[in-house]
């Protein structure tokens, strides 16, 4: 543990060592990750947040397997998640997202379990040591399990009053499981939240800058909590300034009922800076022949303290047709309105892969996609003061046919009462995958980031595929948001070089993310430019689909020509001057 007196110097040295983006180009965010071996080189599902009171400060998170064992440990053909190893990565920028650093802490690690060729070496013996993920979980009988969500809000003082003068507090919500042979909570996955009031110290590797993780969800023995998002009411004009909201889907029947149903959507609210939480049901737990539960949520607040939760689900009158759905609280999260359809019906543009049991958009054995396209939302709430808020709400989502899934954009200028007709905004030739918008706090500029495939659906695993990350901008005028222009297109990458840990298909996660200030916008996405395709893995994945019996399961570190197989990354772009 470093002494506080050297924290600033250490942080500065780390920042100077971090790679900066080329002029006008994008930058590697997950730059602490090795290029190999798999799965230590695997990152996906990025999230990010800007400190509204210090807008040069940006943080990001991802599912980061930097601390997992290598495939050569134990059986060379298996690349498992090592028991007890956390995967919630954390990255920091002090220059508006133009360069990034990833701190190293101490915790439960398997990054030294590299193994040797052959299946006779012992299984990985994880131990206390260096980690590149959130600290404090191992010490509290927990494991950080990714699905990151981040938000900045004001810090409370000793009396519990919130003011930006007290400083800023970062909230990092993620999935959380029990450490092996621990029973810290009931069920399979819970929602946990980490907090820090000194993000510069946290970025310099001082794990004492982080408070102990707090469990947010209430769990039964069969509960699997999933797909959480967090937001802090960060406009001081709000009567609920400082409130923190976390929404998630609570799968109540994990392991004992089909599809883990039923699954109500819950929102937890904290009014004391994240120390204690009150839980509220905001959608029914139904999952039956007439109705599906709300899922894939996003939560935001406007300058007047209204809290909005969006998700994908079915309205009572529409049966199983999915819509983008909204529910609102006007009293700090104590009660929530009935669910209102916003856009849709929406459709999943993938084809269900017979081995994965999930839709894929790029092809056979491709990267899984959500069963229904969840929305991503932002609100021009005028943070940090709320003085210049327009409270315009912007939403983006992906929907459409497999031949051309569109990146759709819609908005509301009247607190969600009415919405514009959704319009497709992707560039020509892009088949949208995941997307997220951001709007400047004063409502003048809108940014959208999305991942897309530029190749058609592949019915084999031999033809190349292509994935890109794209960043768009539009100006808001008197009649609404104008036409989007492309500010950045990431380098091409073949997603066949990404992988689930069980190797049976690609993996790029479920999210991308964007954020904005009055002077710049920024976004992060899943990227495969540094991942090498592995013909042996391609052949085996195809063999699984055809039911053959002759192709052996590959050992990635021996059978792939490059150790950069599986090297998926998080890249970002910022318009900051």
* pLDDT number for residue 9: 34
CA distance 228 to 296: 8
Question: Which residues constitute the domain of residue 307?
Answer: 216-345
**pLDDT at 72 > cutoff 50:** yes
* pLDDT number for residue 577: 67
Model confidence over 533-568: pLDDT tens digits?
999 999 999 999 998 878 899 999 999 999 999 999
For residue 6, name the pLDDT band (cuts at 50, 70, 90).
Answer: very low
- Tracing tokens 């509960």 back to the chain, one arrives at 223
- Tracing tokens 């400083």 back to the chain, one arrives at 167
- Choose the final residue of a domain: 345, 360, 378: 345
Q: Is residue 335 part of a domain?
A: yes
**pLDDT at 322 > cutoff 90:** no
Model confidence over 416-471: pLDDT tens digits?
999 999 999 999 999 999 999 999 999 999 999 999 999 999 999 999 999 999 99
Same domain, 426 and 319: no
Model confidence over 134-150: pLDDT tens digits?
999 999 999 999 999 99
HSE, side-chain direction, 13 A CA sphere, residue 211: 18
pTM: 0.93
What does the pLDDT average to over 205-233?
A: 90
The neighbouring-strand residues paired with 574 are: 522
* pLDDT number for residue 285: 58
- Choose the final residue of a domain: 345, 367, 382: 345
Same domain, 402 and 484: yes
What does the pLDDT average to over 357-370?
A: 93
- Tracing tokens 């800058």 back to the chain, one arrives at 209
How do 214-215 and 445-453 pair as beta strands? unpaired
Contact 363, 465 (CB under 8 A): yes
- The most confident of the ranges 94-103, 317-326, 345-354, 372-381 is 94-103
Burial of 165 (0-12, 13-18, 19+ CB in 10 A): exposed
Inter-residue long-range contacts of 323-329, CB under 8 Å, 24+ positions, other chains counted:
324/375, 324/395, 324/397, 325/283, 325/294, 326/416, 327/282, 327/283, 327/294, 328/415, 328/416, 329/267
For residue 2, name the pLDDT band (cuts at 50, 70, 90).
Answer: very low
CA distance 395 to 207: 36
Q: Is residue 192 part of a domain?
A: no
Helix (H) or strand (E) holding 201: helix 199-203
Same domain, 389 and 485: yes
Tokens representing residue 21 in the block: 């983006």
CA distance 93 to 373: 30
Same domain, 380 and 440: yes
* pLDDT number for residue 20: 34
Same domain, 542 and 408: yes
Model confidence over 378-420: pLDDT tens digits?
999 999 999 999 999 999 999 999 999 999 999 999 999 999 9
23: left (phi over 0), alpha (psi -120 to 50) or beta: beta
How many domains is the chain built from? 3
CA distance 285 to 296: 14
* pLDDT number for residue 259: 54
CA distance 138 to 83: 11
Model confidence over 235-289: pLDDT tens digits?
999 999 999 999 998 776 654 555 555 578 899 999 999 999 999 988 765 554 4
- Choose the final residue of a domain: 345, 371, 391: 345
Same domain, 415 and 304: no
Same domain, 352 and 285: no
Q: Give the closest residue to 125 by CA, choosing from 167, 83, 97, 86.
A: 83
For residue 319, name the pLDDT band (cuts at 50, 70, 90).
Answer: low
Q: Give the closest residue to 435 by CA, choosing from 471, 411, 402.
A: 471
Helix extents (H) in 126-170: none
Model confidence over 469-495: pLDDT tens digits?
999 999 999 999 999 999 999 999 999
| Share above pLDDT 70 across residues of the chain, in percent, rounded to a whole number | 90
What's phi and psi for 7, nearest 5 deg?
Answer: -60, -45
What does the pLDDT average to over 103-118?
A: 97
* pLDDT number for residue 188: 87
Q: How many residues does the chain have?
A: 577
Same domain, 354 and 497: yes
């Amino acid at each position: 543990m470093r002494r506080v007196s050297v924290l600033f110097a250490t942080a500065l040295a780390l920042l100077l060592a971090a790679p900066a983006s080329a002029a006008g180009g994008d930058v590697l965010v997950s730059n602490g990750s090795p290029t190999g071996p798999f799965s230590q080189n695997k990152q996906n599902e990025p999230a990010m947040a800007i400190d509204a009171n210090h807008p040069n400060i940006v943080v990001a998170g991802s599912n980061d397997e930097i601390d997992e064992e290598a495939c050569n440990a134990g059986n060379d053909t298996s690349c498992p998640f090592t028991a007890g190893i956390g995967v919630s990565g954390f990255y920091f920028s002090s220059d508006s997202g133009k360069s990034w650093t990833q701190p190293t802490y101490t915790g439960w690690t398997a990054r030294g379990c590299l193994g040797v060729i052959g299946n006779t070496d012992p299984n990985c013996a994880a131990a206390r040591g260096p980690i590149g993920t959130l600290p404090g979980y191992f010490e509290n009988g927990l494991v950080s399990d990714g699905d990151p969500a981040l938000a900045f809000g004001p810090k409370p003082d000793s009396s519990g009053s919130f003011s930006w003068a007290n400083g800023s507090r970062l909230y990092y919500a993620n999935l959380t499981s029990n450490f092996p042979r621990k029973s810290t909570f009931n069920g399979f996955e819970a929602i946990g939240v980490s907090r820090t009031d000194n993000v510069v110290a946290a970025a310099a590797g001082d794990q004492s800058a982080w408070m102990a993780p707090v469990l947010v969800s209430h769990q039964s023995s069969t509960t699997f909590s999933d797909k959480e998002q967090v937001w802090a009411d960060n406009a001081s004009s709000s009567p609920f300034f400082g409130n923190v909201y976390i929404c998630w889907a609570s799968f109540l029947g994990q392991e004992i009922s089909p599809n883990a149903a039923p699954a109500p959507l819950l929102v937890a609210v904290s009014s004391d800076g994240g120390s204690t939480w009150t839980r509220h049901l905001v959608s029914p737990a139904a999952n039956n022949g007439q109705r599906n539960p709300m899922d894939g949520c996003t939560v935001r607040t406007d300058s007047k303290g209204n809290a909005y939760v969006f998700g994908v689900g079915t309205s009572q009158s529409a049966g199983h047709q999915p819509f983008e759905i909204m529910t609102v609280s006007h009293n700090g999260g104590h009660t929530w309105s009935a669910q209102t359809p916003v856009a849709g019906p929406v459709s999943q543009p993938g084809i269900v892969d017979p081995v994965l049991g999930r839709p894929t958009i790029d092809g056979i054995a491709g990267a899984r996609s959500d069963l229904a396209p969840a929305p991503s939302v932002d609100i021009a709430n005028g943070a940090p003061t709320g003085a210049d808020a327009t409270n315009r709400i912007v939403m983006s989502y992906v929907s459409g046919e497999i031949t051309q899934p569109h990146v759709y954009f819609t908005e509301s200028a009247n607190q969600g009462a009415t919405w514009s007709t959704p319009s497709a905004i992707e560039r020509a030739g892009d088949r949208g995958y995941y997307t997220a918008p951001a709007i400047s706090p004063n409502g003048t500029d809108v940014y959208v980031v999305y991942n897309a495939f530029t190749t058609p659906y592949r019915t084999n695993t031999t033809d190349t595929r292509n994935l890109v990350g794209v960043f768009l901008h539009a100006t808001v005028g008197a009649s609404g948001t104008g036409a989007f222009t492309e500010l950045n297109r990431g380098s091409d990458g073949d997603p066949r070089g990404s992988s689930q840990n069980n190797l049976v298909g690609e993996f790029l996660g479920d999210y991308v993310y964007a954020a904005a200030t009055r002077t710049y916008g920024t976004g992060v996405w899943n990227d495969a430019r540094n991942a090498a395709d592995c013909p042996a893995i391609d052949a085996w994945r195809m063999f699984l689909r055809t039911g053959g019996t002759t192709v052996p399961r590959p050992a990635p570190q021996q059978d792939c020509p490059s150790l950069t197989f599986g090297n998926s990354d998080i890249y970002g772009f910022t318009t900051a001057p």
